[in-house]
Amino acid sequence: MELNLVMLGPPGAGKGTQARQLRRKWNIPHISTGAMLRDAVQAGTPLGREVAAIMEGGGLISDDVITHVVVERLAHPDTNGGFLLDGYPRTIPQAEALDRMLSGRAPLVVVEIVLSEADVVRRLASRMVCAECGANAIGEGPACHDCGGPLVPRADDREQVVLNRLKVYRDQTEPLISYYGNRSTYCRIDGARLPDDVTADIIKAVERHR
Ligand code: AMP
């Protein structure tokens, strides 16, 4: 059965880490808009050149640009059985666009991972990411768990940028909690625990709500 999942939560809540586990469980593609944009920046495509400076400062790229990227990605047949969106939507207009994209498909299941700002700042200060595959690593080293690639800090995890990303989250993304909150498919998960415990809770909640 088609499973269309959205991960919500502040930067550092564990959306990417959880999505990497969950895609294996349900065999659906993990679609991270942040990872797609970082790839575009690295490859120097026109999209990458357009968004590089905004990403570096922790701001959001325009709703139209990112929605176009997602429309194209969701048209790919590998999403026929569902998908796991990580990092989109981040604004109300994006959420409205996603609802339009999904008309006629299975209803969205929204998973909010809850983490305090103090925990976010602490986590991102020590986060490393794999330069090869993009996997997150906190308190590991020196090589990636998944592929053995080298671990490096993420350019937008510098403290000043993290504070800006948190402000952007509060102002632009947090309103999505009310946008989705009263849907019967909304799940709230405590993210301040070991990753495996968070994964187990998400699986239970999603199986109940789908
Ligand atoms: P993430 O990896 O999800 O933290 O995304 C990294 C950066 O990519 C963000 O700080 C934004 O600059 C940009 N980005 C990713 N997804 C979106 C989106 N849905 N809307 C606007 N900007 C985005």
Q: Encode pLDDT of 183-194 as tens digits.
A: 999 999 999 999
pLDDT tens column, 63-112: 999 999 999 999 999 999 999 999 999 999 999 999 999 999 999 999 99
Give backbone dihedrals phi and psi of 11, rounded to 5 degrees, phi first: -55, 140
If one counts every other C-beta atom within 10 angstroms of the C-beta of residue 167, the result is 12
Residues 107 and 65: their CA atoms lie apart, in Å, by 24
What's the longest Cα–Cα distance across the chain?
46
* 94 CB within 6 A, ligand 1: yes
Q: Are strands 127-130 and 136-138 parallel, antiparallel or unpaired?
A: antiparallel
Which residues are 114's β-sheet partners?
Answer: 190
Spatial separation of the C-alpha atoms in residues 137 and 151, rounded to whole Å: 8
Distance of CA 199 from the midpoint of ligand 1 (Å): 23
**Which residues are bridge partners to 137 per DSSP?**
128
- Which residues of the chain, if any, have pLDDT below 70? 139-140
Residue with tokens 């947090």: 174
154 is catalytic: yes
Total Cβ atoms within 10 A of residue 37: 22
Q: Among this protein's residues, is 100 annotated catalytic?
A: no
